[in-house]
């Protein structure tokens, strides 16, 4: 563990505070991993990290509890991602704090998260009256998980994608898999996810894509970094004209993180999957 990782709240005993404290938010420079992947300041994609928060509560001016769900959209161009446990601790700090109304809470969260990320963060709060509008969805496109493969390699191997694109076949297709698993960069806890790959260009061999995704199974990296690595490796070896990579991770600590990166799509639906 390096000095930076040692300062993260992940994996450490924690004293939970129920009084508002924006100082709990922990910034992680995106540049640390982007340098490793080979991404420069001129990013080859745009996108968001879409967070869903299922454990939100605060008090009214009279002391009555309020519960809600939250959606936070953090732009990938922000210089920092925000460590997930620190967001959980930050959100818990609202529990015994009194606020005038929903908008006061929303605006405060937007300011605090934006300050930590280093860029504006869009915050939406969902009241109990709106809970019925939140439903499960499925990823579009063709699921590649039924391929009958013999798998022996569970260590990240981007070389699987070399030669996987056939320039003689030009296609536009959407693939998805529910077999993505990686591990937390610091605690080694498993992170489970589903991933959508939408592209236009030389047809990419489905078997190679699935083997590549499965090779993340013992890889240690944060959600956002895994998605940027998948995007970069697909561009590097398969050279699609258009590409979107969108992952939907299962929740931990009342939060799920759903990064998407694209060079042609400017928005994606916040599709809550059955495992979320």
pLDDT value for 40: 87
62 contacts: CB under 8 Å, gap ≥ 6: none
Ramachandran angles phi, psi of 120, nearest 5°: -60, 135
Kindly report, residue by residue over 137-185, the tens digit of the pLDDT: 999 999 999 999 999 999 999 999 999 999 999 999 999 999 999 999 9
Mean pLDDT of 235-249: 98
Note whether 151 and 110 are within 8 A (CB): no
d(CA 238, CA 232): 10
pLDDT value for 8: 56
pLDDT value for 186: 86
Buried b (16+ CB within 10 A) or exposed e, 75-89: bbebebbbbbbbbbb
Place of tokens 């929903």: 102
Mean pLDDT computed over every residue of the chain = 94
pLDDT value for 18: 79
Ramachandran angles phi, psi of 139, nearest 5°: -70, 140
Return the closest-CA partner of residue 222 out of 183, 276, 270.
Answer: 183
Active-site residue numbers?
184, 191
Mean pLDDT of 49-71: 98
Q: Which residues pair with 52 in a beta bridge?
A: 71, 256
Domains of the chain, earliest start first? 3-133 (3.30.1130.10), 142-262 (3.30.1130.10)
Ramachandran angles phi, psi of 35, nearest 5°: -65, -40
Q: Name the pTM for this structure.
A: 0.93
């Amino acid at each position: 563990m390096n000095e930076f990782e040692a300062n993260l709240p992940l994996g450490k005993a924690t004293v939970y505070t129920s009084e508002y404290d924006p100082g709990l938010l922990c910034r992680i420079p995106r540049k640390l991993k982007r340098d490793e992947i080979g991404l420069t300041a001129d990013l080859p994609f745009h996108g968001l990290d879409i967070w869903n928060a299922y454990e939100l509560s605060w008090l009214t001016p009279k002391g009555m509890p309020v519960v809600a769900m939250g959606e936070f959209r953090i732009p990938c161009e922000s210089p920092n991602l925000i460590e997930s446990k620190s967001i959980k601790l930050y959100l818990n700090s609202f529990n015994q704090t009194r606020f005038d109304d929903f908008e006061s809470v929303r605006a405060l969260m937007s300011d605090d998260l934006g300050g930590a990320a280093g860029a504006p963060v869009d915050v939406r709060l969902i009241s109990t009256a709106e809970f019925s509008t939140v439903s499960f969805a499925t990823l579009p496109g063709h699921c590649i998980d039924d391929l009958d493969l013999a798998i022996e390699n569970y260590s990240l191997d981007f070389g699987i994608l070399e030669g996987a694109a056939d320039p003689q076949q030009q296609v536009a297709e959407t693939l998805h898999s529910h077999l993505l698993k990686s591990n937390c960069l610091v605690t080694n806890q498993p992170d489970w996810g589903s991933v959508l790959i939408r592209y236009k260009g030389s047809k990419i061999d489905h078997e190679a894509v699935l083997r590549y995704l499965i090779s993340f199974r013992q890889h240690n990296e944060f959600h956002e970094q895994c998605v940027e690595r998948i995007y970069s490796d697909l561009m590097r070896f398969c050279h699609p004209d258009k590409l979107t990579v969108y992952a939907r991770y299962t929740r931990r600590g009342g939060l799920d993180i759903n990064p998407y990166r694209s060079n042609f799509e400017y928005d994606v639906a916040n599709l809550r999957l059955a495992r979320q």
